[in-house]
Amino acid sequence: MITHKNAELLAEIKRWANTDLRFAFDDPKLEHIIKQKTKILKENGINRGYFYVLIGFDTTREEDIRRIKILDDLGHRIYIMPYNKKDTYQKLMIKYVNQFFYRKMTFDYFKNKYYPDWVL
């Protein structure tokens, strides 16, 4: 649980380890918690974290895209974790996010430009 005291301690660890702290944003219902806790982190000098985002497990594409946008807007790094690596949509999302295409184009544009034959 991220509190101001814990955030102070995490900031010390981050300075010592010289790496991004790692978190997860797997449930879209936790959006308000993620925003609240990342605000606490920023207030304590941790401006960027590394977030794992589970997709394909009880989420919609829209929810997946929304979580990516939220984290990007907050300045965090994102790494997609697929629930089913064989699913076409999840394969595309891995490429779209983990190779930073999400910063340059929409998912639909990416899919149509680079993988037009892949059926979702």
pTM equals 0.90
pLDDT tens readout for residues 58-79: 999 999 999 999 999 999 999 9
pLDDT tens-digit series, residues 37-57: 999 999 999 999 999 999 999
What average pLDDT score do residues 113-117 get? Answer: 95
Three-state DSSP state, 4: helix
Residue 3 pLDDT greater than 90, yes or no: yes
Is the separation of the CB atoms in 10 and 20 below 8 Å?
no
Q: Which domains does the chain have, with CATH numbers?
A: 4-114 (3.40.50)
Element (H, E) at 40: helix 31-43
- Tell me: the pLDDT tens digits for 11-21? 888 878 777 89
